[in-house]
Structure 1
């Protein structure tokens, strides 16, 4: 795996942690931002998982992305 791909896991990790922090906020705007940051982390993990051959990580991130989109839709409906 290339060095760039190996380094990709750290921004993915940071985005995942930041998103979890934001989603746990009392602020509606921060929670909504958290869903978008989670989606970005899903993309980063997939970008890391493809060259790493981490099929389970890729599948997990696709499932989590679907749940994040569901969360965005439900948040929009609640407005």
Structure 2
């Protein structure tokens, strides 16, 4: 299980990059998908951070998740 958790940082990074790309879209639907994708990456980072006891990373991801949730509601569709 430790090997899987250690590997999890790579999919988390890739999902974060995909989310950033989607957030830059002119289409509201893609931006909303980007926020949801960022939330998924936040969860992946939290799992990885919990395993490595990276408390600052977990706190950052929780704060970013709150901003992503706000982004979903503030996004003009």
Range class of TM-score, shorter chain: over 0.9
Give the superposed CA RMSD. 1.2
Task: Give the TM-score, by structure 1 length.
Answer: 0.92
The separation in 1 between residues aligned to 2:74 and 2:13, in whole angstroms, is 25
In the alignment, structure 1 residue 26 sits paired with structure 2 residue 6? no
Counterpart for residue 40 of structure 1: 40
Counterpart for residue 12 of structure 2: 12
Structure 1 segments unaligned to the other structure (5+ residues) = none
Task: Give the TM-score, by structure 2 length.
Answer: 0.94
The separation in 2 between residues aligned to 1:73 and 1:31, in whole angstroms, is 11
For these two proteins, the number of residue pairs brought into alignment is: 77
The separation in 1 between residues aligned to 2:51 and 2:36, in whole angstroms, is 24
